Structure 1
């Protein structure tokens, strides 16, 4: 079938300009000017690239502004402290969970406080002691406000009395004005020991509960309140001389290092979403831009051949393609930066509402993220056009004489080499996942990404046999023959359309399947760990008090953090009664008193501990005590087990975990706790976790589908516009308009089916490794779970987009020209 010669008139006109440019600016300047003219003339075919780049830069700008704004903040309750002295950092993170740094010992706190208070200009040196305290109003614990302090800490904000007076005795408390309690009222306050009634002596404008005296944990911050007019720099310098290696001295914005660990954890979750979005957007944008430009080169071979005929050199052809990408990149990046700046505040607030940023978070418009994202857009455009420019440089002058659009050599040596390499890496990573326990998800994404790149490069070689296999049922008949041969003849067009479907379906199957499979594994693990019908669980509080546990006659673990081996944090738990654990060595019955411990085998091996070893352990109150190892465990509720009394002696804020019961208690339970069926409790936990995870999943899948829409529509619009003559020849050959449109629709359906099939293969390879890895991790057989309704919806959207983007322009092309 022949293309219309008149559609190459613009190329001929520009070819004359290349001839002039070749003679006068052989170093490429004329090619850049020509790139601008060609981009303006071909803007309709570049609109998909513009949208993909613009959307990418917009999302990158939006996430970049949020990322730049999501920095640690100085806690509001330290606003009145000019200088903070905190304990040295001990890492604070283990296995992805954040732990507080090791506290000072009581002797260190007394010594440092006395010496710091004598610094000239220091009005007070206040050890900040915190503990669990939560008011009960209207029979329910007040959510969010769970911290108790000694009264001197109120002056660090400073929180001044709004009404009443400071607490004067053990039965009085100052509470937040937000509770609506006037001085003289009684209020029940939950502590780790249980509920107690206090008289409200006063109220303050800020959060917290302030006591005259209380049993507190260790001290990690000593706040220095400066006298009016004192040089803070001088205080900071003197404090460093006093503290030495015993702590860190912070002033100004550096005080943000003392922000609550709950905010650190929340921000960390937000970082995961932002990083996932940025990586997916950058990967997909390069992928789509490369696919679009490669397809454009395949369609413009005659035009490029004309340019070569009038003297354009291969170098000028590469400059021409990069110049077009630069023109599109500048326009798209500028649009994207403006879009991202406008959307960033709303996106930041959405993250706060979803619990992925602290309540104090607010987006700040800064210049450097926008400049970086603008530059990233240009880099993405140049990376996307790199392979296409090399292919354009290889077009020969004889291509100007060709009229048939047939892919004679769709697979180049580079595509074979890199396609095979990426596919091999993906397969190897998929196999490696099966033996990996700590980074299953990370390696799954690596495997899927490598396979997607590899299969996309190998698509022109893989697609012909797939076309024959998928189109086998419709091989007979005129329409079936046209669809089959059209896909086999225009392999590059088929590959360029199938590539975004492959990316979209692959990521959708991988991410949703991973979430569902992991949820199933968690369900198996919880079901195996619990052998009871009822559970006493915290409701509106961080955990259960001692009184709540004792009231039901049960027992539960008492989680805490201890420090060993140079101050490294270790997750520990106090236990009582019979313990379900797999003992490797020693005897768990010897776990008694306050000077013994049972240790997970891996933790003991890491520290060189054996049964009988006495090791110094630092507790939450800062005191260090040598504990003797009485047993090594393969599996246990925590890495280090202590008696419940040992934990309570050193951690007055430790709250118990759920208590599992055979029968529900007859008496009412304490406020802040409730009796539930175990099945309902597990379902509630999974529902909460699934909600957060699915927010992340929907963001990623939504981005992927959005990019697929742009890529599919752009590729098919370009392809259909280039096939106008072909479609009209079919019409003149006797085919009805309906038959031509059905042919086009079936071609699109075939391409989507191939892309979806390849995407499912990619995802299944990674998911097989994930299920094997989870099976090895939890010691139970984990089955692969795929949410087929979601996957079907994604494939259906791709199909709808493909058919719409091909049939509508085809119908317009078949309309008779207006007189």
Structure 2
């Protein structure tokens, strides 16, 4: 049977090119998406600042909550199941000051070094913010902690009061030398310091992913605002039993965390390490899109390819082949074909992953230090998935195709047995019901809204695919009268039309839904930002941020009648025993005139209260007056009374806290912008207060950078999906056209001209495109309409007419070209009949 399958492949290379291309691209996409997800899940910090230590003791770096569920057994006994969920802090908790002495007294400890790490904004000679390698943040320390890496001086001397030592990478970014001056800004204020020396870790110029700056140890507390060290490095005495030392240090550390080996890097300041939480969801979505499109397209292509061989299968039946033998033959053919396609497909997946990662890095959606790791098991799994999908598709298509009557081998055309309507209808109903459930019961206005809109689109597309011949037949009956002979042929060959139209439905529905929904989110975010800032005269910003005290001083400048300063932060809230991280803002409001409009829906602002977005309040069941426990970036737990519920949270945050509380417990703690209302002539007084102050009229303020980056990430994912589905559409049309060589040859023999066949093919392509667009528009309208209604209560089926028209026009043009060109290349004025 294997010999027969390979021989069949050799004799029908042209017929199998389409399936080969589909399998090749499917494996490439699956391999690329798999490598991206694998790489981000296994990504490790690029450097360990505590490399020279034996172990490290640190303050809290994550919040862990334990839940206990009691399950009763039949015998009357019960079993308690415990789950621990953790959420990483965005700041660093400190350890008690006296803990250093306690650990130093532990037997086997040769030396302990306290490290106080804190983010710092650094401005060079021209006031431009300085960053480390790969745009990494700059982290401040005391000089005593340089030994933890270890850092050593390359030039200059150790820092004195009012001086700093910077790493070589940071010095190189601005051409800094010993004796130069830097402007440092932290949450405690801004100050000018002199560079006393340049240092580097042994064997390198700096640490990847962070820039280091060392102050005199007596300056650390005043600059950082921290009450104690964030970590303690422990050096073991020679010959010490490390396991015993670890146990003793754990006992002495109390509630503090103890890290050893590769885990020591977790003791570093979270802001100093690349954050891969966002990229995990991004690449998870990429693999979801590519996997669905690959399976959908590959299955459809294989099914179409099998349908083109009905007459051959009937001929094999006439010479005694059984249905079981034919199914085995088709299955083996598919396995061989997909395995051959996987050989070049897997390496292409590596290139695809690297290209996508590079683009996401440019957009700022993933850390600059992220690298794609080539993993052989992932590539093998992608190849196996491609082979398996091809095999299942071939076997599924063969179930009906091999039941063809042997007598059909004697006819000019062969038609597969009909049937399976009940199964198809049942599958379509289940998929459609799932889509309705998602669109109805899942909150699409929440953080999972975009992902759930894709899931609902995928389910509706599965329903369309299951009922493809039936739906296409119904639509064709309505529109076919516009296409003359082509319409008549389409009504008879509705299964063939369905096989070609369904990829068009996929191409339009999936990509239009993602593009329109992401565009809607971007527009709503921009609109809410404009509405929020509308009361202000201007927005005040400084590169890197402002200390809260400076913002308060600006709010008291004569002529200022109202100010609203915001400090971006992250807050952890408990939900069902699981800690959840949310974007938040510290808010300082002064003056009699409001400079910020959050669209308050309940309660009123309170200087020491908490405000929550409508979405979050509804999700948690909060009401004004409730006491809400939460954790701040440094792990500090506090309880605030909910005083206000607001609506305009897009691009802002779901929680609003007192600015002073955020500045005290967020290691960065800087004001990102100040909305101000002031009288004419106040601009110059404001600029005189702060060097480098940028004043932008509110009407000219742009959308937040994060929102723009997110939109760019969505557009890249649409581009990935669009490219694959476009190739799939071309591939499907080419298969369908190739299978009609005999039909076109017969038409030429009875007198049809090449021009007539060209017009017929173009009309059939136009009809197929129209059917595909109508079904795709139906799917898109359902999902986009539900998503839009969930966002702001407004039903929008199109969102942006320009984008919608461009998408529909592009799909239509591609479909027409893909449908007409293969026929034009195949139908020549001479020789077509001779080629058969």
TM-score by length of structure 2 reads 0.81
Say if 1:611 and 1:632, in contact at 8 Å, map to a contact too: yes
What displacement does 1:52 show?
A: 1.3
Structure 1 residue 801 corresponds to structure 2 residue 818: yes
Say if 2:753 and 2:829, in contact at 8 Å, map to a contact too: no
Q: 1:634 to 1:149 in 2, by over 3 A?
A: same
- Three-state SS of the structure 1 residue aligned to 2:63 is coil
Structure 1 residue 716 corresponds to structure 2 residue 743: no
What displacement does 1:262 show?
A: 5.6
User: What is the aligned partner in structure 1 of residue 586 from structure 2?
Assistant: 573
User: What is the aligned partner in structure 2 of residue 81 from structure 1?
Assistant: 53
Say if 1:103 and 1:219, in contact at 8 Å, map to a contact too: no
Structure 1 residue 175 corresponds to structure 2 residue 145: no
What displacement does 1:325 show?
A: 1.0
Q: 1:292 to 1:124 in 2, by over 3 A?
A: same
- Three-state SS of the structure 1 residue aligned to 2:371 is coil
Q: 1:696 to 1:261 in 2, by over 3 A?
A: farther
User: What is the aligned partner in structure 2 of residue 321 from structure 1?
Assistant: 330
Superposition RMSD on alpha carbons, in Å?
3.8
Say if 1:422 and 1:453, in contact at 8 Å, map to a contact too: yes
Say if 1:348 and 1:363, in contact at 8 Å, map to a contact too: yes
In structure 2, C-alpha distance between the alignment counterparts of 1:412 and 1:584, rounded to whole Å? 52
User: What is the aligned partner in structure 1 of residue 671 from structure 2?
Assistant: 656
Q: 1:783 to 1:34 in 2, by over 3 A?
A: closer
Q: 1:630 to 1:55 in 2, by over 3 A?
A: closer
- Three-state SS of the structure 2 residue aligned to 1:77 is coil
Deviations 1:434-482 (A, max 9, x none): 77544322221121111111112212112223223223233xxxxx22x
Matches within 5 A, 1:523-538: 523-532=526-535, 534-538=537-541
Q: 1:486 to 1:813 in 2, by over 3 A?
A: farther
* Correspondent of 2:114 among 117, 121, 126: 126
What displacement does 1:631 show?
A: 3.0
* Correspondent of 1:204 among 199, 203, 209: 199
In structure 2, C-alpha distance between the alignment counterparts of 1:339 and 1:796, rounded to whole Å? 28
Say if 1:748 and 1:803, in contact at 8 Å, map to a contact too: yes
Matches within 5 A, 1:602-621: none
What displacement does 1:744 show?
A: 1.4
Deviations 1:403-430 (A, max 9, x none): 3345673764322322333234334434
Deviations 1:471-526 (A, max 9, x none): 3233xxxxx22x11221222221111111111111112111111221122212222
* Correspondent of 2:186 among 183, 191, 206: 191
Say if 2:39 and 2:372, in contact at 8 Å, map to a contact too: yes
User: What is the aligned partner in structure 2 of residue 665 from structure 1?
Assistant: 683
Matches within 5 A, 1:367-446: 367-406=376-415, 409=418, 412-432=421-441, 437-446=446-455
Say if 2:87 and 2:581, in contact at 8 Å, map to a contact too: no
- Three-state SS of the structure 2 residue aligned to 1:84 is strand
What displacement does 1:601 show?
A: 8.5
Structure 1: gaps spanning 5 or more residues = 1-30, 475-479
In structure 1, C-alpha distance between the alignment counterparts of 2:190 and 2:23, rounded to whole Å? 58
* Correspondent of 2:764 among 731, 747, 763: 747
* Correspondent of 1:728 among 740, 745, 770: 745
Q: 1:585 to 1:510 in 2, by over 3 A?
A: closer
Say if 2:617 and 2:645, in contact at 8 Å, map to a contact too: no
What displacement does 1:384 show?
A: 2.1
In structure 2, C-alpha distance between the alignment counterparts of 1:558 and 1:61, rounded to whole Å? 41
* Correspondent of 1:694 among 708, 711, 715: 715
In structure 2, C-alpha distance between the alignment counterparts of 1:484 and 1:72, rounded to whole Å? 59
Q: 1:773 to 1:260 in 2, by over 3 A?
A: farther
Q: 1:811 to 1:450 in 2, by over 3 A?
A: farther
Say if 1:716 and 1:802, in contact at 8 Å, map to a contact too: yes
What displacement does 1:242 show?
A: 3.6
- Three-state SS of the structure 1 residue aligned to 2:124 is strand
Q: 1:350 to 1:516 in 2, by over 3 A?
A: closer
User: What is the aligned partner in structure 1 of residue 149 from structure 2?
Assistant: 157
Say if 2:761 and 2:823, in contact at 8 Å, map to a contact too: yes
Structure 2: gaps spanning 5 or more residues = 66-84, 201-205, 558-562
- Three-state SS of the structure 1 residue aligned to 2:344 is helix
- Three-state SS of the structure 1 residue aligned to 2:369 is coil
Say if 1:51 and 1:332, in contact at 8 Å, map to a contact too: yes
Q: 1:49 to 1:260 in 2, by over 3 A?
A: farther
In structure 2, C-alpha distance between the alignment counterparts of 1:574 and 1:125, rounded to whole Å? 37
Q: 1:49 to 1:197 in 2, by over 3 A?
A: same
In structure 1, C-alpha distance between the alignment counterparts of 2:189 and 2:451, rounded to whole Å? 43
What displacement does 1:532 show?
A: 3.7
Q: 1:714 to 1:124 in 2, by over 3 A?
A: farther
TM-score by length of structure 1 reads 0.83
In structure 1, C-alpha distance between the alignment counterparts of 2:311 and 2:580, rounded to whole Å? 68
Structure 1 residue 54 corresponds to structure 2 residue 24: yes
User: What is the aligned partner in structure 1 of residue 4 from structure 2?
Assistant: 34
In structure 2, C-alpha distance between the alignment counterparts of 1:602 and 1:113, rounded to whole Å? 48
Q: 1:339 to 1:461 in 2, by over 3 A?
A: same
In structure 1, C-alpha distance between the alignment counterparts of 2:712 and 2:18, rounded to whole Å? 34
Q: 1:623 to 1:318 in 2, by over 3 A?
A: closer
In structure 2, C-alpha distance between the alignment counterparts of 1:460 and 1:248, rounded to whole Å? 62
- Three-state SS of the structure 1 residue aligned to 2:191 is strand
What displacement does 1:283 show?
A: 2.1
Deviations 1:5-28 (A, max 9, x none): xxxxxxxxxxxxxxxxxxxxxxxx
- Three-state SS of the structure 1 residue aligned to 2:311 is helix
User: What is the aligned partner in structure 2 of residue 21 from structure 1?
Assistant: none
Structure 1 residue 678 corresponds to structure 2 residue 688: no
**Mean alpha-carbon deviation: is it higher for 98-107 or for 278-287?**
98-107
User: What is the aligned partner in structure 2 of residue 456 from structure 1?
Assistant: 465
**Mean alpha-carbon deviation: is it higher for 493-502 or for 211-220?**
211-220
In structure 2, C-alpha distance between the alignment counterparts of 1:619 and 1:737, rounded to whole Å? 74
Q: 1:190 to 1:417 in 2, by over 3 A?
A: same
What displacement does 1:759 show?
A: 1.2
User: What is the aligned partner in structure 1 of residue 35 from structure 2?
Assistant: 65
* Correspondent of 1:139 among 127, 141, 144: 127
Structure 1 residue 222 corresponds to structure 2 residue 232: yes
- Three-state SS of the structure 1 residue aligned to 2:809 is helix
**Higher strand share goes to which structure?**
2
Q: 1:325 to 1:647 in 2, by over 3 A?
A: closer
User: What is the aligned partner in structure 1 of residue 560 from structure 2?
Assistant: none
Say if 2:95 and 2:256, in contact at 8 Å, map to a contact too: no
What displacement does 1:160 show?
A: 1.5
User: What is the aligned partner in structure 1 of residue 728 from structure 2?
Assistant: 707
Q: Taking CA–CA contacts closer than 8 Å with sequence separation of 6 or more, which of the two structures ends up with the larger relative contact order?
A: 1
Say if 2:91 and 2:269, in contact at 8 Å, map to a contact too: no
In structure 2, C-alpha distance between the alignment counterparts of 1:599 and 1:347, rounded to whole Å? 36
Structure 1 residue 556 corresponds to structure 2 residue 565: yes
What displacement does 1:660 show?
A: 1.7
